[in-house]
Chain A
Amino acid sequence: MNVSPAGGSDGRLRVGIIGFGKMGQIREEVVTAHADLTLVGVSDVRRPDTALPPGCEFFDEYEDLIDRVDIVFVCTPNKFAPTVTVAALNKGKHVFCEKPPGRTLDDVRAMIAAEEANPSTRLKFGFNHRYHGAVTEALALARSPRFGKLLWVRGIYGKSGGESFESNWRSSREVAGGGILLDQGIHMIDLFRLFCGDFEDVKSFVTNSYWNIDVEDNAFAIMRNRDGQVGMLHSSSTHWKHTFSLEIFLEGGYLAISGILSSTRSYGQGEKLIVAMNPRNRKTAPIANPPEELIYFDKDLSWSLEVEEFVECVKHGSPVNVGSSHDALKAMELVHAIYDADEQWSGAPISRGPREEEQVS
């Protein structure tokens, strides 16, 4: 088969998915629905139980799959993502890599080095929350001069852990590199950056208060940027009620996102954006409890929109603007700044937090 970075014989870009778990299967749906993409293969340590789409082969060795495609979707556990990404970039392939971008800052830097060494390639990371309807609407409003300067943001992203949480690879420091903050909280960090830019000062408490795992199950952080804007974050895997909440308070009013559409709908059946503005041309102090407008979004287009943007970058050779390697590095720096800001956490051994047998009365 003729292999060319410009696409297959039908003109469509050939895609391979490496890592065919939950995320890989979500990507499969988006790729097979995209008119400019054709899925030629998947690779995983286990052969999938379900049938693959027509024309899509299974590859035992991911390197063989890389050789056959134009674009690689890296959907592996965090430990393997940098190796696969760097290998694909070094073979001149475009890469869409799931978040988080590896386990450590060095992982991200290694991927950036490979990207820079192969300037014809495009590298994008899966920070899909930026494409959710409530987020794009809130961002447009927050940037409107009518709302004035942004004062602070507060975000909660929490889940209950769920069945087999302790044995899941996401709960292993060796494989995941971090806990709930790195796995899920990084989305909220990415959104904080979207609204406020980079943060300079970081304070935190990082705990392992319930689950018997060697990564954090809660991270509480407060951070401030150069403009004095403050962000408060709580990322949790002991949030028994699944919760996504992002509040943005500005001089002229507030925007509050509640719920985020996911494949399981466990964070709400829809996304709700509350919009409230202080009256225009006010001459007195802002009124308490201004009238609110609630906007409901019932479709999650984030997966397809982020892939669409990536495909456009690949087709036109344009830079990746959302989920770029710079975004990935900055988000990862903030994750690690939160870890480091809690002296007890950063100084603790790999196995963090008091285990049951270690607790003293």
Chain B
Amino acid sequence: MRRVVTLADYRHSDIKPKALFEKYLELSATEIRRLLLDGGGLTETPCPACGEESHRAAFEKLGMKYVECMSCGTLYVSPRPSAERLALYARESKANEFWSAQVLKATNPARVEHLITPEVSWVANATEEMVETPRIFADVQSRSVEFLEGIDELGLFGTKVLVNPDAAVGSALEGRAGFERIDDDTTRFPAVEADVVTSFYALDQAHDPRTLLASIRGMLVRGGLFFGMGSASSGLDLQVLWDRAQTLVPPENLNVFSVEGATRLLESAGFELVELSTPGHLDIEYIKAAIERDGVGSVPRFLAYVIQRRDENAHRALQEWLQEFRLSSHLRIVARKTD
């Protein structure tokens, strides 16, 4: 199984400007209370990665309780809202609306340069290597018009299927040649015989990731490739900052898989892992920000020493080392559907 290290140069503020991100967190807290917590109806759930029941309390964030799986180390919200409530949140949350209308709009050029263009190249390179004659591409819970346009420009796929795209993506690509749209609340997607399925962050948000993954598998031809991305609980900044990790925001991060949890989830769902990487760039920056925000005693002494007493070269080398050994908190996978 391969792992990838990506050397890029951008900062958290390029993609999540401080003032906008704080406003988004504020709205999230309000909307979680309004749409997910008020009225109860929360239910306990086993580990969404490995299915084990045993867990320990981790922390509470924006009113939602995270637990840590004793078996695979995955962090997840339990008890959690129903799938219907989560769907309602996705549709009606003012936090989501703000994210699309303000944060994404303000950061779109940086996102295209630093995130989306590399994502398109990643999918293109692996497809060209591993799929002999790619024909059909599908994206589940599409969130980025630019990503889909990048895939279209590659000319690798005759048909692009958008499954449950968000409203902005759906309307932007409505009627575009080569694109088809499927809306399906059941997560039992039709077998479109896709050679490649991408789904970024959808497993993190899914009420039941195992069912979603089974549906994705059902869309693929035998030997087809699934590309996924999300956060990793086993990464440095999440391990160190835990509940203070700025990027961990429910219900976007309902499930935060560890490297081990993601491996078990994919393998038990009938996939062979081709790549499992943690190509995150920002672990050190997040810890540095925590020191500035919460004081030097808020992180382990050695890390505080490295961050305060060593220069950018050392920080960059440490971040690269984290990637090389799958210890950053951004996760990406390529998995092949097995027989």
A residues in contact (CB < 8 Å) with B = 133, 136-137, 140-141, 143-144, 146, 275, 277, 280, 291-299
Contacts and interface: CB of A to CB of B under 8 A. Distances in A.
Interface in B1-58: 1-9
Contact of B5 (A136, A144, A293): A293
B60 interface: no
Given A291-B7, A292-B7, A293-B7, A133 B125 contact: no
B129 interface: yes
Contacts of B125: 137, 140-141, 144, 275
Interface residues of B, number: 19
B157 to A, nearest CB: 15
A297 B4 CA distance: 9
B294 interface: no
Interface of B: 1-9, 117-118, 121, 124-125, 128-130, 154, 324
A291 B122 CA distance: 13
B5 A296 contact: yes
A120 B151 CA distance: 46
Contact of B129 (A140, A277, A280, A292): A140
B6 A294 contact: yes
A67 B130 CA distance: 40
B276 to A, nearest CB: 11
Given A137-B129, A140-B128, A141-B128, A296 B121 contact: no
7 contacts: A136-B129, A137-B125, A141-B128, A292-B6, A294-B7, A294-B324, A295-B5
Given A140-B128, A293-B121, A296-B5, 19 more contacts: A133-B2, A136-B129, A137-B2, A140-B125, A141-B128, A141-B129, A143-B128, A277-B121, A291-B6, A291-B7, A292-B7, A293-B4, A293-B5, A294-B4, A294-B5, A294-B324, A295-B5, A296-B3, A299-B1
A146 B124 CA distance: 10
A232 B75 CA distance: 51
Contacts of A146: 124, 154
A202 B129 CA distance: 31
B2 A295 contact: yes
A299 B128 CA distance: 21
Contacts of A299: 1
Contacts of A137: 2, 125, 129
A296 B6 contact: no
A280 B5 CA distance: 21
